[in-house]
Amino acid sequence: MRIISKKILREFWEQYPNAQEPIEAWYYETLKADWSSPQQIKNQFGNASFIADNRIIFNIKGNDYRLIVKINYPYRVVYIRFIGTHKYYDAIKASTI
């Protein structure tokens, strides 16, 4: 998969250093993936939650942080839409971010 953009993730872990290792683990595992369907993601990340418009919520670092991505399956592109703490996650509308 191609991930747009790592910069968002890097900026987040610079603010929350304990998030760097789990975010990088997700990042490199996703780079190696070849997802063509939500089921393939669910098989790899059992705790992933699927919402509207091909958006997926991943729990990062034992559910300390939330990562929302949007996937274009035909082109194998993952767009980072949000990463944050639960406090910030609760303040957004995940299905439209």
pTM of the model: 0.92
Q: Are 67 and 61 in contact (CB under 8 A)?
A: no
Per-residue pLDDT of the chain (97 residues), as tens digits, is: 999 989 999 999 999 999 999 999 999 999 999 999 999 999 999 999 999 899 999 999 988 899 999 999 999 999 999 999 988 887 888 878 8
Helix/strand/coil for 33: coil
Ranges of beta strands (E only) in the chain are 2-4, 49-51, 55-60, 65-72, 77-85
Helices in 33-81 by DSSP H: which ranges?
38-44
Determine the CATH number of domain 2-88: 3.30.2310
Asked if residue 35 lies in contact with residue 68, where contact means CB atoms within 8 angstroms, the answer is no
pLDDT the model gives residue 93: 82
**For the chain, what are the domain ranges?**
2-88
